[in-house]
Amino acid sequence: MLDVIRTQLDFPDLKRKAFSLCDSWQADRVLIEDAASGKPLLQEFRRNEYQQHIPINVSEDKEIRFNAACAPIEEGLVHLPTDAPWLADFKRELQSFPRGRYDDQVDSFSQFLNWTKGVGFWRSLGRNHPINKERQERANRRPRRR
């Protein structure tokens, strides 16, 4: 995780900010919740040259999604910057969930982590990505079931 933006924006500003972040981070994939203000944002991504959008459909509540996402955190697979202006607030929100005042960062974070468990994440990296090459080598070393 590299950056956190926490602000309420009207839709035109949200669209500009989303496109700006795509450009500045050179994003390969952009996960957008397919609900509320995410629906028109998905439409804007489809209408413009930004084809890296992925709609995220939510079917469970935030607490269930977060609990489902905790394994990579517990395994030490999630890395945060050691020094970032948003880090203290982000950690506080994670630690106070689900009883804290805010939960938007927790929700988007858990949606991302849950997405990484699916094939879409691995496919988005491409076959030649070092992580996928390593996964393929491990699979080839496993004994085959008969």
- Residues 73 and 113: beta-carbon distance below 8 Å: yes
**Rounded Cα gap, residues 101 and 30, in angstroms:** 26
pTM: 0.75
Quickly list H helices, the chain. Answer: 11-25, 38-47, 62-74, 87-96, 104-116, 119-125, 130-141
- Residues 72 and 1: beta-carbon distance below 8 Å: no
Tens-place pLDDT, residues 28-56? 889 999 998 899 999 999 999 888 899 99
> What is the token pair recorded at 38?
């995410």
Tens-place pLDDT, residues 102-145? 898 999 999 989 888 876 666 666 667 666 667 677 777 777 66
At position 101, the amino acid (one-letter code) is R
Nearest 5 degrees, angle CA 81-CA 84-CA 13?
115
